[in-house]
Structures are given as C-alpha cells and as structure tokens.
Chain A
Amino acid sequence: MGEVNPRLLAVILEDLQQELTRWATVASDTMATAGYTQRHAEEQVDQAHRHAAIVNDKAVNDRDAVENLRGQVEVLFSKCVEAKQLSHKTLAETTTALQKAQKTLSLWQTELEYALAWLARAEERVRRAEIELAAAEAELRRAESELSRAESAYRNCVNYRDDKGRRKDCSSEASRVRRAQEAVHDAVLRVKAAQLELAAAKAERERARARVKCCQTAVGIATKAVEFAQEAKERATMAVNASERSLETAQAAQRFMNQAVQKVTEEEEEADQMLKDVQLAANFTSEGQHHFRNAERSEESAQRLRIITRTELDNRIGLLYQLNKPDLSVGGGFSSSSSGIGVRATGGLVTTPTVSKSGWITKDTIMSVDDLPNPEDITGADDFQKVPMEQMQAGLLRLQEMQSAIESGEGSNGDYWSNRDTAEGLEYENGYRRIYDAFYGNDAIHITKNQGVYDITNGRHRIWLAKRMGLKFLPVRLVERSESRDS
C-alpha cells in the first residue's frame, strides 16, 4: 500500500465515524419506531380481543333472548290454533241451538194459531148455544102461556053451563090443552137440549182457552230461547273473529321470530369469524414481536460494535493528529509506525484518553467481559456486602437499557439521567442517575493494564456478576502504561 497522507486519512476516518454515528441515530430511531409500532399493534390486538369478547357475549345474549321469545311464541301459536278450533265448534253449536230454538218457536206459534182458531170456534158455539137456549126458553114460555090459556079455556068450557045447564062440548078445548101440553113438553125438551149444548160449548171454550194460554206460554219461552241463542251465536261469532285475529297475529310474530333466528345465527357466525381473525392477528403480532426481538438484539450488537469501532477510530485519529504534533512534555505517548496506526484494538472509548505525568493513560472505554479477569474471591451472593446481588443485577440490566443512549451521546452526562428520573418519578436510589454514576462516575469499574496483564482495581463484584449474567461488554475506566500495548 502506498503512503497515505495522515491528515487525509484522519479526515476519512472522521467521515467514517460520522457515517457510523448517522447510522446509529437512524437505527436507534428506527428501532424506537418499530418498538412503538409493535406496542401499538399489541394494544390494538388486546382491544380487538376485548371487542370480540363483547361481540360474542352480545351474540350469546341475543341468542338467549331469541330462544326465550321463540318458546313463548310457540306456546301462543298452539293456544291460538286450539282457540280457533274451539270457537268454530262453539259457533256450530250455537247455530244448532238457534235453529232448534227457532224451530220450537215456530212449532208453538203454529200451535197457538190452532188454539186461537179453536177458541174462536168455541166462542161461536157458546154464542149459538146461548141463542138457542134463549129461543127455547122463549118457546117454552110461549107454550106454557098457551097451555095456561088452553087450560083456562078448557076449564071455562068444562065449567060452562048453558041456560039449560047443559055442558058445552069441550073436546076442542081439551085438544088445545093437549096440544099446548105437547108444545110445552117439546119446549122443555128443547130448553134442556139447549142447556146441554151451552154447557158443552162453554166447556169446550174453557179447554180452548187453556190451550191458548199454554201455547202462549210456550211461545214466550221459545222466544226467549231464540233470543238467547241469537246472542250466543253473536258471541260465538265474535269469539271466532277474535281467535282468528289472535292466530294471524301469532303467525306474524312467528315470521318475525324466524327472521330473528336467521339473523342471530348470522350474528353468531360473524362473531365467531371475528374471533378467528383476531386470533390470527394476535399470531401475526406475536410473529412480529419475534422478528422485532431479533432485530433488537442485532441492533444492540451492532450498536456496541459501532461504539467500539468509533472508539478505535478515535484512537487512530488521535494518533494521526499526534504524528503531526510535537511530543508532549509528559513524555511517552505513542510510538508510531509508518502508518501511524499500530495500536491493537482493545476496546472503545467514549472520552478522550488522558496522560499522566508518570505515563499512565487513563481512558473510559468499553471492554469485552471475556477479556476481563475473573474475580476469584467471589463465589456467590454471600460475598455481596455493600450492595445486594439482586440489586446489582438489576443495575446491570438497567445499564444495558441505557447503553445506546449513552454511546450515542444523548445520555453521556449525568444531568440527562437525572431529568429522566424526575420525569419518571424515580428516586435516586432506584433511578438511572445512580447507575450512570456507578459506571461512569467516580465509582466506575477500574481496570489497570500493566505489561499485558489486567488487574481489577474497582468493581470486582460487578465484573463477576456480569460474567455470570452472560453480558458481552462493560464500560470500564482503563489505566495502562504506554508499554502495555506492545504485548
């Protein structure tokens, strides 16, 4: 490779840093958006689940209401059918009863006519008998009067003596008396016959009157029966109408019920289909979550690699600029190769390295946990005195959350995390600022590198726990002598 202008190379490496930084920002934003989108989708699915449950419950309730009313309608329909049958039967019976009553009335009306005619005839017979009796009695009186005269004449005749003392011939007077007596006898017989006839006529008249009276009573009763029968038929007709209207209305209710049954079945199908779609949506969302988690892990790994890369580039850019500067008065510094880049990549730095008078270089960097020594004096939770192991574990997990913000620069100061604690209502003991101070403040993990050997000055428990938790990287404050990079 030909000689490269260090200044040009520094610019190129700075540009690469900028591209990496731009990439980091976009990746962080994109992951934030993806996370928000995922949460939003999950919320939508939860909401859809609740909605589906409501829709299903509604369908169940509607089905119950339909079945309940369907039972009532069926009972009503049966009653109305029976009512129609009974009402028609009763109408027939009342019609028959009316016909019978009318027939009875007609019969007795006829009988009454006959009886009245009979009575008229009986009345006439009595009248004639009375006339006959009167005539016979008159005849008798005349006959008795004639007899009286005839007897008087005969007596006169019998008692007559003429001057000579001779009697007259009274045979004619005697004959007249005999005729008169016969006439009286005939008249008496006639009177007796007339009396008998009158008695008979009167008796017949009484029988006729009795007949008329009973027929009149029968007609009255029959008329009442007809009136009752007419009313009964009228009521029966109204009952038929009411039963038929009731049945028609029940049939209409049945039609509405059939419609309701059909629609509730469709409603159940739609609710069921909705539930299935929501479940599928949940499955897809879950799949999205899986992909998101993969992307998240890849992004975290890429971010860490980006941080390490940027730190290495910082180192090289720093060295490149130092190549063009006079040696520092503190001595040491970096030996340069022809390319000016001979430092083995050991980790990344957020801050610019500082050089002490004794030649120790202190820099905040991120180191691979595997490269860190294992604290042999720590074996378990009992060895955690100052801070309980669970609390330290939680702190390390929180650090992982904070890392990308720190390395992107946004969270590279304590005030940022203090503000976040305030926004989230966290006390210092449980907040982000404490974690930041623990790893980037005065209590940071302190590693010394001397002649290629790492030594833990501070943070043994954190390193031990990080190894157990399988963390990949940790922020450390690395102190090394300039000779240490030759190893």
Chain B
Amino acid sequence: MEDEIWYMKQQSRVLQEFRRDIQGFWDDEAAREMNVRYLNPHEDDDKQMITGLDGQQNALQEAQIKLASASEHALRAEKLSVEVLEQLELAEQDVSIAYQFYEQYQNYHSHARSFLPEIEKLITEANSVCRGVAKE
C-alpha cells in the first residue's frame, strides 16, 4: 500500500500543480467561483483522504509488527509445548520403570520378612530340643 499512497500523493500533487499552472489562463469570476465551491474543497478532501491513508498505513504497520511479534511468541510457545511433552513422556517412562522396581521391592521385601518368624521359631526349637537330656 505504500506504493499506492505514494502514487496517490503524486497524482494529487500533479493535479494541484496543474491548477496553479492554469491559474494565469483561467482566472475569471466563474473560475474563482469554481475554485471556492468545488476545487478548493476538493483539494481539502484530498489532503484529508491522504492523511487518513497515511494514518491507516502507519497503524497497520504497527499492527503487523505486533502480529509478527505474536507469531514469534506462538512459535516459542509451540516449541516449549513440544519440550514439555517430551519431558512428560520421559517422566512417565521413569514413573513406569520406578513402579516396576517398586513392585520387585515389595515382592522381595515381603518374602524376606516372611522368613523372620520362621527363623525365630527354628532357633527356639533348636534350643529346646535337648531340654531334659542330661549332659556329661
């Protein structure tokens, strides 16, 4: 749009320059009336239009900058999201493995503990077998 606005300004300038150029040739009462009623207001409207277009262009350029920035933030956020998922996946794998080891621990531990009362019983039994049997 920058080119179009530049071209528009050019065209406006050409028109006004032409008006000034022909002023010497066309300067009667009707010319003055046309200038006052139509051509001068036309020039004012033209300037306002160009001001509006400039304002629009500047505003849209700022908007584009913000959109580009937003796009970069989106890219970074999406990249971070992928990394989050990767970390979660690794953590889940480790959780699964840890629970497998935990299950092993539970089995071994309960098995080990189950022996303890039996061992105590055997020791007691061993120590009582010779009760009442004379020694030398």
A residues sitting closer than 8 Å to B (CB atoms) are: 1, 4, 8-9, 12-13, 15-16, 19-20, 22-23, 26-27, 29-31, 33-34, 37-38, 41, 44-45, 48, 51-52, 55, 58-59, 62, 65-66, 69, 72-73, 76, 79-80, 83, 86-87, 90-91, 93-94, 97, 100-101, 104-105, 108, 111, 114-115, 118, 207-208, 210-211, 214-215, 217-219, 221-222, 224-225, 228-229, 231-233, 235-236, 238-239, 242-243, 245-247, 249-250, 252-253, 256-257, 259-260, 263-264, 266-267, 270-271, 273-274, 277-278, 280-282, 284-285, 287-296, 298-299, 301-302, 305-306, 308-309, 312, 316, 339, 341-345
- A259 in complex: contacting residue of B11, B22, B62, B87, CB < 8 Å: B87
- A37: which B residues are within 8 A, CB to CB? 1, 56, 60
Q: Are the CB atoms of B37 and A345 closer together than 8 Å?
A: yes
Q: Are the CB atoms of A97 and B7 closer together than 8 Å?
A: no
Q: Are the CB atoms of B34 and A345 closer together than 8 Å?
A: yes
Contact with A along B19-35 (1 / 0, CB 8 A): 10010011110100110
- A267: which B residues are within 8 A, CB to CB? 77, 80-81, 84
- How far is the CB of A354 from the nearest CB of chain B, in Å? 23
Interface centre among B4, B45, B46, B126 (most CB of A within 10 A): B126
Contact with A along B50-61 (1 / 0, CB 8 A): 111111110110
Q: Are the CB atoms of A339 and B30 closer together than 8 Å?
A: yes
Given contacts A292-B56, A295-B53, A305-B45, contact A62 B91 (CB under 8 A): no
Q: Are the CB atoms of B126 and A222 closer together than 8 Å?
A: yes
- How far is the CB of A125 from the nearest CB of chain B, in Å? 12
- B111 in complex: contacting residue of A214, A235, A245, A305, CB < 8 Å: A235
- How far is the CB of B58 from the nearest CB of chain A, in Å? 8
- A260 in complex: contacting residue of B78, B88, B118, B123, CB < 8 Å: B88
Q: Select from chain A the residue with minimum beta-carbon distance to B10.
A: A26
Q: Select from chain A the residue with minimum beta-carbon distance to B53.
A: A295
Contact with A along B75-111 (1 / 0, CB 8 A): 0111011011101101110110111011011101101
Q: Are the CB atoms of A263 and B80 closer together than 8 Å?
A: yes
- B67: which A residues are within 8 A, CB to CB? 44-45, 48, 277-278, 281
Q: Are the CB atoms of A253 and B136 closer together than 8 Å?
A: no
Q: Are the CB atoms of A58 and B81 closer together than 8 Å?
A: yes
Taking A246-B98, A264-B80, A284-B66 as known contacts, 19 extra A-B pairs with beta carbons closer than 8 A to each other, sorted by chain A number, are A15-B18, A22-B11, A29-B4, A45-B63, A45-B67, A48-B70, A218-B126, A229-B115, A232-B116, A239-B105, A245-B101, A246-B102, A263-B87, A277-B66, A278-B67, A294-B51, A302-B49, A309-B38, A339-B30
